[in-house]
Structure 1
Amino acid sequence: MFGLVLIDRGFVVLDEPSALSHSRAMNRISDRPEHQFRKNMRSRLLMLVALPLLVTIASVVGLERVLERQLINDAMRHVMETRDVLQSELDEHVRTLKVEILGLAQSSILKEALQKGDMQALQSVLKAFSESYPEIDLIIANRDGKVLSSNHKLELKAVSDLETLHVPNLSGEVTNALSMHGCERAKGQPMVNSDVREATQPPARVLAARVGEGAIVIACERLDRDFLERVGKPLQMKLALVDEAHEHLLLAHSQDFPVHVRGRREESLLSEADGDLWAVAEFCPRLFTDTKDDCVIDAISAMSVLKLRNTVRKDFLLLLLPLLLVGGFALLWGGRLAYTLNETLDRLLAGFRRLETHNFEPIEPMRTGNELEEIGHGFNHAVEGLKERNHLRTTFGKYMTESVAAHLLSNQVKLGGDSLQVTVLFSDIRGFTSMSEKMDAQQVVSRLNEYFTRMVDVVMEHGGVVDKYIGDALMVIFGAPVPSGDDALNAVKAAVDMRKALAELNAELIERGELPIRTGIGLHTGEVVAGNIGSERRMEYTVIGDAVNLASRLEGCTKELGSDLVISESTYRAVQAHVQARLIDTIQVKGRDQAVRVYALDSVDSSS
């Protein structure tokens, strides 16, 4: 198993240990259903895009609610503050009128016109006053209360027709009083429109002063809609006057005032009326009290909270609309990105799963023009590398063992070697020269291939490494390049099984009418240098050392010793607990000072 690691838009081929960890990781991925993997990945990517948008929208909505509540509280506080502001406005307005009325009463022109009974002069005085205060009715009467002149068409014949309340005897000061029935109502006229409990005439404020000893000047200001509009407009309030003594009789109100709202004196509250929500406060201005400071007329201030709330909501909707548009675009874009990324991961996952089965089929990269497409191409490039590596490994396996091929492919291909304790096996066909003289070249090659196939299968079954073919001879190593700990035992097992495999092959050859093959096998255990031998341009993995030479000499002595399978003393000591062997001779080998004890190997215990 080979592995891949994604590094900076590319892939790196891993060695065997890394490939093993990769395989375990892939097995964990493979255990998960593909649809679950895709669903989890896509939902997480969409959530990554949608969550900030949802948090933003929730924050905007929450802020709108907080601001709306704050505006309602501000409106309720504002209607309560109206009491003081309205009181100041009324006081200032009355003071100004008092000054004007007092000045008019003390005017020499007015006194002279009264003395002469000059009605034209009186009208001129009244006209001049009306230019400054067109909303005020001005009346001049004699000491008996008979109306001498007025600036408006008032249907009054005497001051007694002006039903003022709580007006004391007139003196030199300006007197302030209230008329609950306006500036010209006479007794006996209806007061209430019973449908809406609303007075037919608004109340009026009356200011009066003596002109000398023989006349009276009276200013009557209607507390009607126009008056309330003038007073309430700077305050952005709707105002109304009510008579609580007559069951909340509505005396006057500004335009669009919610006539059905009810207040509570000295307290602000929310009230629904006419499909709107109003902040309402009720209080009694000082000018609307009697001489005992009892409230005669209550004032109600009202502010539309619904309009404020709708304004706030409209502003927030205008703010929210771009967020929704941007959020919708972000979701579409994020969904597209999630699909692209998820599809890329699906294709990579499918590619990894094919790699687990050694299927090196490339994937189809997503055509995105960005890093995701580069990842797909990078994966395919790595797959091609693995495919070539696998091909090399398969090819190497035909020329060398799997362990040597893996060693060469593990990036350890360099000149040099390591000292290892190995068991070397040499096998040679006896009388091969005379045998080959009786066959043509094709037959010789065919016979050798058939023989080597059987022998190599046995060798590789026991973990041996075929080092080389030397004509009709075979050199095998046990313990290189990777020692196993039981290399000597594996070697003698392989030798015994090679003898059995040769017997089976000879039975087939005899059955075909061909000559059987006789071999000699020699084994020796010792230290060798194992590694890449040669040059940088051409090298070969092999072992060299005295142990190799001795194993070759032992194989060459098999015929003389009368045994087809012999082992050295060092090999015998390593496996003596597992084999049946006998000492057959002690020989002197060229190049060695000490004689070598040689054992004939009969069998290996089946339990070993």
Structure 2
Amino acid sequence: MRIPIVVKLIVVTVSLLLLASVWIAFKSSDYFKEKSVAREREVNWIAADAKAAQVNVLFDKYRDKTRLAASLLNKAYENDKEKTESLHLSIINDRDLIAVYIYRLSDGKQIRSEFFEKKEYLAELNLPSDYLNNLQQLRPFPLAKVFAGQVEIHNASLSGGAPLMVMGIPLIKSDAGVITHIALSYFRLDSIQRPFSDIGNITIQTFYLVDNEGIVLAHPEDKFVFEAKNLSDLGIVKKSLEPNVNKGDSKYFDAEAKKNFIASFAKTQYGPSVISQTDESIILEPARVVRREAFYIAGKVLSIGIFCIFIFSITLTNPLEKLVEVTRRVAKGNFDVQTNIRSHDEVGELAESVDAMVHGLKERDKIKAAMNKFHGSAVVEDMLKSDLQLGGVNKKVTVFFSDIRDFTKFSEGHTPELVVDMLNEYFEIMVGIVTKNYGVVDKFIGDAMMAIWGVPQSTGEDERHAVKACLEMRLALDELNKVRLAKGQTEIKIGMGLSSGHVISGTIGSSERMEYTVIGDTVNTASRIESSTKAFGTDFLVSGETLEKIKGEFIFDYVGAAEVKGKSEPIKMYKIRGYIDESGNEIIIKTKYSDFDASNTDKIKIVI
């Protein structure tokens, strides 16, 4: 009985529905989180506004006290007794007011004219009597802003000193409307600090007050107040310091606390801002609870679903595992495998198709292995990707020719078997170097070898790879000759030539017999350059076109130009002596076979 695979997929669909329930749980908790954050922003906004109104009342009170005390100080008295009795009413008996100073403008200068200080308060804190004078030197007050008509409020606390707040207000205007007198008053911070202390016991919000420079005026952490901590780098405080912005909110990260906060601010009518903020983790805790519960329920459902899937999947996974194992073996090159699956469903049909595919790959691999021995693997891959048709394309390549010196003489003095053994030993090494450096061996012509860089695909550095391969061949030949001489065999000498240019690359021949190769003037030029190595006494020459691409990476000498057979213009040739490493050092690649005495040849004529 054939069991359709669709029946098995139904079970998987059920599990997908369970996953959908998890997604819904995520969405619902995210929605809950979004609403919680929005609600908390609104709460912070209202709370900051209410707290700002409360602070405004305190600042109004301090302003009135400052104005009254300054008026009494600036008043003319008949005697000191009358002045003392008057000051008792507004300053001496006022617990919060510590000192009052009156400044007046005189010839454009700000001059302190009257003042009163509670020395006994300073004494209670073991502070020197001139503490307030020193304080004004250490933390100058912006008198000019007050003379300009602004009310200024700042934290005047110093670490180890008295916790004070200073308020500056305009006092007297001239008939022309110019402020001529201002008053500065120092107050204890107790009354301002009290509304901001221990708020956390009854609400999740944290409130604090900063002046128009971002310095703390009141905070649940007393040390922030006493140290006059600057919080202007916090996102919400930075936003509150923007001009012409009276209210706002922000989410920001406190690097010191390593927490995210949802915060709002409201400016008082005097400039300082009240900040109301809430730890985001506290806001989001209910959303996390909802998500955990959703996961718990989804986990139960998934557990049941997984058990069901496991029962139904056995009939599907076992044959699939066999198929996977077969494909892994095939991927490693083992084509002598079969699935041996007998199933009456789509999996069975798949197994039959895989068996047929493996048989086809086995036959294809035999053909490919045979072709690789006659063409490079890259060429074979390119040929297999397209239809085998006659034709070619114009490509920029680098062509290589090499030739064994005195090969005819060697052949005459040795048996054919020894000649073939020598060639195979030599070509085994040289072909490996070409392949390693992204080249393709095109053909062997007796003792000569032709290779190409740039077909079927260019690496973009064909000239460099070709020159590097030739230098490696120079070293490899030296090592090979050491082995041959140790065996009492004749040493091998070669010549190598490179030329770069455009060729026609493709399949030539007939519909019954084809060959993949390149043709063009660049091929002939490379052959003539190789032939010129005898005349210039070196094993390796390149054309100017090749050198143009690699001159910054290799060490070269210009050896001259020569008229060669089949070329109307002399060919300029260059000898490669080595390369330049990554550190800029010149590395010379030289063996006893790389340079020799030049000899005449009838194929070329040196002209320069």
User: Same fold by TM (over 0.5)?
Assistant: no
TM bracket (short chain): 0.3 to 0.5
Larger Rg: 1
TM-score, normalised to structure 2's length? 0.44
TM-score, normalised to structure 1's length? 0.44
